[in-house]
């Protein structure tokens, strides 16, 4: 996770996590067993998507174990009538200094 240099192409690459939730489409392959739109709408209120993003915090005053791992928990609800796109940048490193936090 994080940023990685590609010196040959003179670029910086960033890791991205992508997932997609799509509605089932009836076909002979799934024996036409998809739920109806009404059934999908009824169950969506009980579904929640959780994204857990890891973070590292460095405290250089602690020489034996300067890195602490923390997590940012984000929760989202699905909505049948909307197309939602959540995008975020992963910032895996925070530096704790005497003067503040640098990320």
Q: pLDDT in tens for each of the 103 residues of the chain? A: 556 678 888 887 777 767 777 788 899 998 889 999 899 889 888 888 888 877 777 777 888 888 788 888 888 888 777 666 666 665 556 666 666 655 4
Structure tokens at 97: 């200094």
Give the structural domain span for 56. 47-103
pTM of the model: 0.47
In a domain, 16, yes or no: no
In a domain, 68, yes or no: yes
C-alpha dist (Å) from residue 93 to 3, 12, 22, 80: 10, 16, 33, 36
Count CB atoms within 10 A of the CB of residue 90.
Answer: 15
In a domain, 62, yes or no: yes
The per-residue pLDDT for 30 is: 87
């Amino acid at each position: 996770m994080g940023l990685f240099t590609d010196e040959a192409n003179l670029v910086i690459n960033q890791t991205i996590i992508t997932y997609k939730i799509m509605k089932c489409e009836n076909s002979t392959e799934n024996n036409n067993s998809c739920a109806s739109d009404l059934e999908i709408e009824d169950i969506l209120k009980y579904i929640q998507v959780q994204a857990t993003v890891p973070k590292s915090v460095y405290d250089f005053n602690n020489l034996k174990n300067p890195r602490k791992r923390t997590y940012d928990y984000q929760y989202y609800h699905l909505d049948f009538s909307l197309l939602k796109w959540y995008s975020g940048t992963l910032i895996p490193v925070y530096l704790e200094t005497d003067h503040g936090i640098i990320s």
